[in-house]
Amino acid sequence: MKIQAYVAEDAKVALKEVELKEIGADEILIRVVGTGLCHTDLGVLHSAIPTPMPIVLGHEGAGIVERVGSAVTEFEVGDHVVASFNYCGKCANCLQGVPSACENFFQDNFGVSMEETNSKIVDGDKKVANLFGQSSLATYFVSNVRNTVKIEDKEIDLALLGPLACGIQTGAGTVLNKLRPKVSESIVVFGCGSVGLSAIMGAKLANCQTIIAVDLHDERLELAKELGATHVINGGKEDAVKVVQEITNGGAHYSIESSGAAPVVLQAIRSVRALGTIAVVGASGNLEFHIHDELVPMNKTLVGVVEGQAIPKQFIPELISYYKDGKLPFDKLIKTYEMTELEQAIQDMESGKTIKPVILFN
């Protein structure tokens, strides 16, 4: 079938007509209602994250089931769904309930080569690669039953739910699934984009005693306070590490680095106390630091976290339940754009004007 999709190649992205081939036995055809735009999409666009090219962007897709494969029993036509990250479901980590650590994660989400891609998308006689097992910046996309989540409540605005699949899941999940802080403990979040602000909301859900937000934009810090931060620090005006240590009497129990700026990782390390844990979720680059001096004497733990270490079929419904109860107001992060406004959405996200753009496909 013919679809409209945002195809990226040579650092440019364009809305094009391409063809979507027939679904397989365990696959689902989804008509897109809304897709979140994530910095990972831009990383792919600008080749900071290597993928085959050309590729259709989009990995926070929400829509309605149009067709199901012959082996699909979990979904039916008309279901509201969200598509999350792809995983094999067969490796040791998947079988142990940690699909975000799938041994085939990079291959299944970003692809290794155009020859090996399992994409259903073609442009004439030319293959087009698939992103995160969905490529949902399009009017339609195909996903597998593994990475598709049914939304039981059809009264919720489906267009808003796509970001649950990556950005919001990553931030809230890092707190709730990986760090699991106690009520009396403290946490500092570096970077108040969609991931960082979702971590703030996750920390509030966990009833952390002290929740500190660090960013360079005062308006984002104000939103962080609205979402649950007990303290805010403008890292461009204050020494964030010093202020965190003062607030927490020696350092926070946990820190999360979500800005993607490599030097900030070191600030996150220095902001925690002895036995503290630093979770890096931003796509940071190279950083040189003294491993012994920064980590060993104080028994600090430095960890990477992917997709909030979530099982999407379990965690996304949990997040929706929090949202319905007024405890996870992630809609405050979102601004919607029409299908033809992707370029404006990218500009607004890169400038900081919009925290989480969602592209509507009507």
pLDDT at 362 over 80: no
In terms of Cβ atoms closer than 10 Å to its own Cβ (0-12, 13-18, 19+), residue 116 is exposed
- 284: pLDDT confidence band, cut at 50, 70 and 90? confident
Query: Average pLDDT of 51-74?
Result: 97
| 170-211 tens-digit pLDDT | 999 999 999 999 999 999 999 999 999 999 999 999 999 999
Q: Could you tell me the end-to-end alpha-carbon distance of the chain, in angstroms, rounded to an integer? A: 17
pLDDT at residue 118, rounded to an integer: 79
Residues contacting 111, CB < 8 A, separation 6+: 51, 52, 55, 117, 119, 129, 130, 131
For residue 200, which of 177, 222, 176, 172 has the smallest C-alpha distance? 172
| 290-335 tens-digit pLDDT | 999 999 999 999 999 999 999 999 999 999 999 999 999 999 999 9
pLDDT > 90 fraction of the chain, expressed in percent and rounded? 94
What are the two backbone dihedrals, phi and then psi, of residue 192, each rounded to the nearest 5 degrees?
A: -110, 50
pLDDT at residue 114, rounded to an integer: 80
Strands 27-36 and 356-360: antiparallel
| 64-107 tens-digit pLDDT | 999 999 999 999 999 999 999 999 999 999 999 999 999 999 99
Architecture of domain 168-307: 3-Layer(aba) Sandwich (3.40)
Q: Is residue 186 a contact partner of residue 158, using CB atoms and an 8 Å limit?
A: no
Strands (E), 182-333: 186-190, 210-215, 231-234, 252-257, 272-280, 301-304
| 265-282 tens-digit pLDDT | 999 999 999 999 999 998
pTM of the model: 0.96
Q: Is residue 164 a contact partner of residue 193, using CB atoms and an 8 Å limit?
A: no
Ranges of each domain in the chain: 2-165+329-360, 168-307
- 285: pLDDT confidence band, cut at 50, 70 and 90? confident
What is the chain's mean pLDDT, rounded?
A: 96
CATH 3.40.50.150 assigned to 2-165+329-360: no
pLDDT at residue 112, rounded to an integer: 81
What are the two backbone dihedrals, phi and then psi, of residue 151, each rounded to the nearest 5 degrees?
A: -100, 110
Say how far apart CA 142 and CA 5 lie, in whole Å. 12
Q: Distances from the Cα of 266 to the Cαs of 40, 290, 296, 333, 337, in angstroms? A: 22, 10, 14, 27, 36
pLDDT at 141 over 80: yes
pLDDT at residue 283, rounded to an integer: 81
